[in-house]
Amino acid sequence: MFEPIIKPESLSGHVEAELTTAIRQGQYRPLQKIPTEHELCSIFNVSRTVIREAIRGLNSKGIVDVKKGSGVFVSEMSIQNASEILNLFFGLSSNKDLMLHAIDCREMIEPMIAAKSATARTDDHILRLHDNMEKLYQCPLDDKITEAELDNQFHSILLESINNPVLHLLMDPIFNLVPKFKQDVFAKTIAGNMAEEKEKMLHYHEKITNAISRKNAKKAEGLMREHLKVTLDNYVKSMER
């Protein structure tokens, strides 16, 4: 199944990659125990230190669970823990272009989510959107943490209305970048612009809500596209300051 490693460089990385491939190919199934530390040392012809480093790497990525006294088991992957891994990646990333790419991704996907929401939403979704709008209006201008949470909630309600778990996996970690976006933008913006930018957001949220309420998919899609274009422009301008 595995082959001993001859090359001395990146031994733990090599072991980690081999085990990941074996798990991906189904040689070890979710909740199944993988070979013991001693067995892996023999299989790969490496030291215990190398195996332990490889296992730590797999564990940090959520691929395996280490159970003290029992051994190492393949994780039972789910939408939830896959999403948590993406959240961790986005949260720890130091890539300055990450936010730009995230907004670009939203521009490609969210207009279609808005369009789909216009036909899939229920009356409860509309009530929740109006409640969200009311809270946004009442949110103090300088409370960017609450504003970011409410902004997230608005977009999440649209996503929930179409009930697609794969889209949740893709979009939830991106939505969770909104607080960072608010911080980056408004930390470089004078107070006078804060009111103007919030007014723009409220304008689009209200228009999108109305279009979805009327089941106007084309209008909802177009408004969301405009909204995210403004969001991208704001971010680019803030980074130029």
Summarised one tens digit per residue, pLDDT across range 151-199 is: 989 999 999 999 898 898 888 888 887 776 666 665 555 444 778 888 9
Whole-model pTM over 0.85:
no
**What integer best gives the mean pLDDT of the chain?**
85
Q: Are residues 69 and 49 in the same domain?
A: yes
**Range picked from 19-33, 150-164, 206-220 for highest mean pLDDT:** 206-220
What percent of the chain has pLDDT above 70? 82
Is the distance from CB of 206 to CB of 144 less than 8 angstroms?
Answer: no
Q: At what angle do helices 123-138 and 191-213 cross, to 10 degrees?
A: 170
Does residue 1 lie in a domain region?
A: no
Q: What is the pLDDT of residue 191?
A: 45
Which residue in the block uniquely carries the two structure tokens 């274009």?
Answer: 229
**Cβ atoms within 10 Å of 88's Cβ, excluding its own:** 14
123 shares its domain with 228: yes
Q: What pLDDT does residue 235 have? A: 76
Considering all CA atoms of the chain, what is the largest pairwise distance in Å, rounded to the nearest integer? Answer: 67
Residue 237 — very low, low, confident or very high, per pLDDT cuts 50/70/90?
confident
- Domain range for 160: 80-240
Q: How many domains does the chain have?
A: 2
Classify the C-alpha dihedral 202-205-208-213 as positive or negative.
negative
Reported as a single tens digit per residue, the pLDDT across 52-84 is: 999 998 988 778 999 988 999 998 876 666 666
Same domain membership, residue 132 and residue 36 = no
Could you give the CA distance from residue 122 to residue 113 in angstroms, rounded to a whole number?
A: 15
Flag whether 27 is in a domain. yes
Structure tokens at 105: 């991704």
Q: Are 208 and 171 in contact (CB under 8 A)?
A: no
Q: What 8-state DSSP symbol labels residue 119? A: H
Question: Which whole number is the average pLDDT over 214-241?
Answer: 88
Examine the pLDDT at 218 and tell me if it is beyond 80: yes
Domain boundary, last residue among 74, 90, 110: 74
